[in-house]
């Protein structure tokens, strides 16, 4: 949750707590899929699935070139779906649901994220003293799969330095070094915001909208990270009895606001740092871009671990929201994140604004999901 997926760091309150399957190939023997019927999806007939159709249409723009997706995307564009019954019939016709398990367990963690809102200036002035940096010019990303086939998809990030034995790639600066000014001359601030705590949580979300001093809105999104490990400041605060459990974003934010003299040191315990870019391809009223490159849809977009679920895949959730209410609904995998790791793991995008922040910050729910994969050999005519 900007290309939220990028880090997501996207909410990723798993990153805060513990560190906040489709067709993608995986060699993990614990990843298991079992074909089931739509009647096995808890609450399938109760969800207004028509609400998920616009999100799937966005994904079709990215999936069209894949043979197995092209026929159903073509049918979706040409078929007028105006009721939940029609939409349900469409999904039942074109997709086969699969229950997902990690070994013997079908249970995992589901969290939420949102699009943050901040206040900023293009100049370092007055209260605007916290920079949002663009990608540094000396940041190097290496695809390890180019060197060893079994490392396909694994990336490392660092910087090249001249050592005693010549040039070498070393880890990039951590948060504490950057906070001390190590990027001066190496990275350009995109803009400056008035609250370092807001900037910290913006990085977790991966994208946001900034209200500038001239009243314009500027949207920023994830561009890169230093690839340093994310340290769970929420867990640290809870372990030291500074905040209670369950840990929520609101509790962490409140503690830091009440202890400004310690907030900086606590944030620096998280070595990870995110670099942003200014988004110009969507307006204030549109959501952020996910890792799939499409605008996210509130309550219908999901961040997943793409080692197991292909972006664009419809997913049936069976979990709960932050208030403990059942959350059984159809969402589309359109994002990924640094904290979203594991076979049964998901992060629901709740949108932007105070209500979305509350929903995202309080959601830490056990649950399971089912993936809906395109059926082979299905045609428009039979639909």
DSSP secondary structure code for residue 46 in this structure: T
What is residue 27's predicted lDDT score, i.e. its pLDDT? 61
Region 345-349: what's the mean pLDDT? 96
In the numeric block, the tokens 């900023």 are attached to 120
What is residue 230's predicted lDDT score, i.e. its pLDDT? 82
DSSP secondary structure code for residue 174 in this structure: -
DSSP secondary structure code for residue 134 in this structure: P
Of the listed ranges 42-46, 200-204, 256-260, 343-347, the one predicted with least confidence: 200-204
Q: Three-state SS for 351?
A: strand
- pLDDT beyond 50 at 292: yes
316's enclosing H/E stretch is strand 314-320
Q: What does the alpha-carbon distance between residue 340 and residue 373 come to, in Å, rounded to a whole number?
A: 21
Contact, 212 vs 191, CB < 8 A?
yes
Backbone angle region of 164, left / alpha / beta, with phi > 0 → left and psi within -120 to 50 → alpha? alpha
Q: Three-state SS for 334?
A: strand
What is residue 266's predicted lDDT score, i.e. its pLDDT? 96
- pLDDT beyond 80 at 380: no
What is residue 291's predicted lDDT score, i.e. its pLDDT? 87
What is residue 281's predicted lDDT score, i.e. its pLDDT? 55
Residue 169: Cβ within 10 Å count: 13
Q: What does the alpha-carbon distance between residue 259 and residue 139 come to, in Å, rounded to a whole number?
A: 33
- pLDDT beyond 80 at 17: no
pLDDT, the chain, mean: 88
What is residue 54's predicted lDDT score, i.e. its pLDDT? 96
pLDDT in tens, 136-192: 999 999 988 889 888 877 788 999 998 888 899 999 999 999 999 999 999 999 999
pLDDT band for position 19 (cuts 50, 70, 90): very low
pLDDT in tens, 220-272: 988 899 989 888 899 999 999 999 888 888 899 999 999 999 999 999 999 99
**Long-range interactions of 85-94: CB distance < 8 A, separation 24+:** 86/50, 87/49, 87/50, 87/52, 87/53, 88/44, 88/45, 88/49, 90/53, 90/383, 91/38, 91/49, 91/314, 91/330, 91/372, 92/38, 93/378, 93/382, 93/383, 94/374, 94/375, 94/378, 94/383
Q: What is the sign, positive or negative, of the torsion defined by CA atoms of 227, 232, 234, 237?
A: negative
pLDDT in tens, 39-63: 999 999 999 999 999 999 999 998 9
Name, in order, each residue with C-beta under 8 angstroms of 352's C-beta and a sequence gap of 6 or more.
Answer: 114, 115, 116, 117, 208, 209, 287, 298
Domains of the chain: 4-130+193-374 (2.40.40.10)
Region 70-76: what's the mean pLDDT? 94
Highest mean pLDDT among 36-45, 58-67, 336-345, 353-362: 36-45
What is residue 14's predicted lDDT score, i.e. its pLDDT? 34
Phi–psi pair at 126, nearest 5 degrees: 45, -125
Contact, 12 vs 113, CB < 8 A?
yes
Residue 89: Cβ within 10 Å count: 15
What is residue 293's predicted lDDT score, i.e. its pLDDT? 87
Q: What does the alpha-carbon distance between residue 10 and residue 204 come to, in Å, rounded to a whole number?
A: 5
- pLDDT beyond 80 at 96: yes
What is residue 287's predicted lDDT score, i.e. its pLDDT? 74
Higher per-residue pLDDT: 76 or 151:
76
pLDDT band for position 383 (cuts 50, 70, 90): low
What is residue 25's predicted lDDT score, i.e. its pLDDT? 46
The DSSP bridge pattern shows strands 207-212 and 189-193 to be: unpaired
Region 323-350: what's the mean pLDDT? 92
What is residue 277's predicted lDDT score, i.e. its pLDDT? 92
Provide the percentage of residues in the chain whose pLDDT is more than 70.
90
Q: Three-state SS for 358?
A: helix
Q: What does the alpha-carbon distance between residue 178 and residue 21 come to, in Å, rounded to a whole number?
A: 37
Residue 282: Cβ within 10 Å count: 13
């Amino acid at each position: 949750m900007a290309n939220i997926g990028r880090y997501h760091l996207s909410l990723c309150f798993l990153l805060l707590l513990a560190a906040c399957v489709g067709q993608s190939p995986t060699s993990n023997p614990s990843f298991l899929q079992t074909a089931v019927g739509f009647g096995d999806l808890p609450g399938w007939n109760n969800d207004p699935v028509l609400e998920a159709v616009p999100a799937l249409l966005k994904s079709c723009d990215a999936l069209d070139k894949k043979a197995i997706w092209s026929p159903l995307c073509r049918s979706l564009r040409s078929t007028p779906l105006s009721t939940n019954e029609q939409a349900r019939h469409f999904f039942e016709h074109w997709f086969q649901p699969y229950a997902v398990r990690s070994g013997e367990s079908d249970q995992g963690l589901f969290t939420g994220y949102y699009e943050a809102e901040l206040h900023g200036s293009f100049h370092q002035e007055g209260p605007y003293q916290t920079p949002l940096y663009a990608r540094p010019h000396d940041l190097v990303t290496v695809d390890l799969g180019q060197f060893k086939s079994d490392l396909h998809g694994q990336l490392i990030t660092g910087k090249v330095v001249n050592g005693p034995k010549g040039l070498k790639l070393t880890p990039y600066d951590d948060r504490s070094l950057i906070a001390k000014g190590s990027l001066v001359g190496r990275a350009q601030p995109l803009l400056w915001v008035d609250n370092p705590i807001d900037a910290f949580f913006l990085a977790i979300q991966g994208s946001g909208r900034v209200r500038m001093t001239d009243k314009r809105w500027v949207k920023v999104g994830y561009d890169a990270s230093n690839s340093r490990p994310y340290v769970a400041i929420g867990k640290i605060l809870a372990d030291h009895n500074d905040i209670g459990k369950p840990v929520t974003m609101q509790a962490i934010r409140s503690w830091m606001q009440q202890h400004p003299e310690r907030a900086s040191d606590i944030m620096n315990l998280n070595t990870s740092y995110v670099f942003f870019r200014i988004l110009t391809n969507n307006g204030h009223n549109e959501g952020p871009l996910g890792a799939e490159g499409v605008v996210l849809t509130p309550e219908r977009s999901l961040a997943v671990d793409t080692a197991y679920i292909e972006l664009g895949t419809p997913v049936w959730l069976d979990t709960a929201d932050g208030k403990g209410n059942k959350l059984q609904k159809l969402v589309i995998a359109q994002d990924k994140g640094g904290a979203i790791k594991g076979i049964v793991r998901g992060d629901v995008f709740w949108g932007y604004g105070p209500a979305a922040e509350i929903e995202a910050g309080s959601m830490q729910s056990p649950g399971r999901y089912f993936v809906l994969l395109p059926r082979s050999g299905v045609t428009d005519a039979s639909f």
